[in-house]
Amino acid sequence: MNAMTESAVKRFTESIETGFEKGIMDEASRQNAISKLAELEFPTTRVEAWKYTRVAKISKKDFSIQQLSINDTLPFKVNSLESHVIVFVNGFYQKELSSFSAEDGIVISPLSQTEEIKPNSVETTTDEVFSTLNTAYATDGIAVKIAAGKTLSKPLEVINIQTGESVISNTRNVIIAEGSSSAHIILGYYSKDAHQCFSNVISEITVGANAQLTIDKIQYENNENYTVASEQVKQDKDSTFSINTITLDGELVRNNLNIEVLGHNCETNLNGAYLTKGKQHIDNHTVVDHQVAHCESNELYKGVMDDDSTAVFNGKVFVRKDAQKINAFQSNGNVLLSGNATVNSKPELEIYADDVKCSHGSTTGQLDEEAVFYLRARGLSDKNARKLLVSAFIGDVLDKICTDEVRAHVDKMLLDRFGWEF
């Protein structure tokens, strides 16, 4: 780095420092992160993990932390779903819009208001500039703990809304499902009158022995906004963790889903659907790290890209040396609706054990024109024929969303944004 030029990270942090008052990390971790930021740079496309995703749109802007409020959660609340609701606007807890009740053995709280649950320091997350920024400037996020043996009686909806001009929200979520507990959590990311805002999110998720945790992650911030969202998941023995990542909007979205499978007999399900148009850029990086034997993981990501949009899929599955009898399946499928749409798909398996069953595959193509003609020859319009084929393609991922109300919520957004009925 040339000493004469000011670091982009320094300029970036100076801009957000002005609106920052109080974070949720302990002071030592925060100071550690701040000093680390002085040495970090934004990733370039020379870095393998960012090869297809340029972050200049984010790194060149001057964002600020702004505590603003909005009046209602419509239309972001999942319709007719009985749920606990907790709302964050620009990374700040908004009490008036939240409604959740106490349940025996269960903590639901903004991180800023609980002593019981603390985020981990940055050392446990990847060494990226975005996670370090998050540690240094996180303002709030959800804290959930389901005590051993307890079941969350109804789903928890965490509604994150961006609003305003050039706002950065650094949100930190901590979700702990203790042994033999069970919960369904919906993490929704939305925008309202938001222009060039940036959501920088880290979720730390712990799935205890024999626990069952399902997360639906729904990303619907409008196409002027940027997101980098990472989940750091640790799974203990006999547990089942499922996450459905549905990305429907956003100018630049990067998801990092990192799952460490640390105990035997775990099941891990990662499903993703991404639908893009205009100049959107959606990047999903996933890692499933099988460290022990007798586990199963299923990964299915599908995308439909239109106009000049781009998608990136990089799915890595590690099977460590002693992790025998692993069944790991990974599949990525893409349909390009336009000649200018792009996808970069890279499925990767790294296997160091010798008695495993693993498969991966990636397909990219256009809609089958012969099928389009067949449907038109039966009277369907060209548009409806294509719509039907797209919905058939992506439908098997959306079918993984197990709650009818959440599915209807996603279908509604698909209809609003793409005019597609599913």
Partner 1 sequence: MIKIENLHASIDGKEILKGLNLEVKPGEVHAIMGPNGAGKSTLASVLAGREEFEVTQGSVDFDGKDLLEMDTEIRAREGLFLAFQYPVEIPGVSNINFLRTAMNEIREHKGLEQISAKDFMAMVREKSKLVELDAKLASRAVNEGFSGGEKKRNEIFQMAMLEPKLAILDETDSGLDIDALRIVANGVNTLKTKDNATIVITHYQRLLDYIVPDFVHVLYNGKIVKTGPKELALELEEKGYDWIKQELGENA
Q: Classify 166 in phi/psi space as left (phi over 0), alpha (psi -120 to 50) or beta.
A: left
Determine if 419 is a binding residue for partner 1 (CB under 8 A). no
Determine if 12 is a binding residue for partner 1 (CB under 8 A). no
Of 25 and 335, CB closest to partner 1: 335
CA distances from 18 to 36, 136, 244, 296, 420 (A): 19, 13, 36, 47, 43
Of 322 and 368, CB closest to partner 1: 368
Maximum Cα–Cα distance across the chain: 68
Touching partner 1, residues 390-409 (CB under 8 A)? 391-393, 395-396
Of 294 and 376, CB closest to partner 1: 376
Q: Near partner 1 by CB under 8 A, which window of 84-92, 188-196, 382-390, 401-409?
A: 382-390
Which of 224, 371, 405, 417 lies at the binding interface for partner 1 (CB under 8 A)?
371
Which of 6, 41, 322, 368 lies at the binding interface for partner 1 (CB under 8 A)?
368
Expressed in angstroms, the distance from the first to the final Cα of the chain is 50
Report the nearest approach of partner 1 to the CB of residue 277 (Å): 21
Which of 36, 61, 376, 417 lies at the binding interface for partner 1 (CB under 8 A)?
376
- Nearest CA to 135 out of 99, 176, 171, 174 is that of 171
CA distances from 395 to 93, 364, 385, 401 (A): 34, 16, 15, 10
Q: Is 175 in contact with 204 (CB distance < 8 Å)?
A: yes
Report the nearest approach of partner 1 to the CB of residue 373 (Å): 7
Q: Is 229 in contact with 198 (CB distance < 8 Å)?
A: no
- DSSP codes of every residue in 34-74: HHHHTT-----TTSGGGTT---HHHHTS--B------S--T
Determine if 380 is a binding residue for partner 1 (CB under 8 A). yes
Q: Is 355 in contact with 321 (CB distance < 8 Å)?
A: no
Which of 165, 384, 402, 404 lies at the binding interface for partner 1 (CB under 8 A)?
384
Which of 197, 388, 406, 414 lies at the binding interface for partner 1 (CB under 8 A)?
388
Of 22 and 378, CB closest to partner 1: 378
Joined together, the tokens standing for residue 378 give 């039966």
Determine if 379 is a binding residue for partner 1 (CB under 8 A). yes
Number of residues that bind partner 1 (CB under 8 A): 22
Residues that bind partner 1 (CB under 8 A): 368, 370-371, 373-382, 384-385, 388-389, 391-393, 395-396
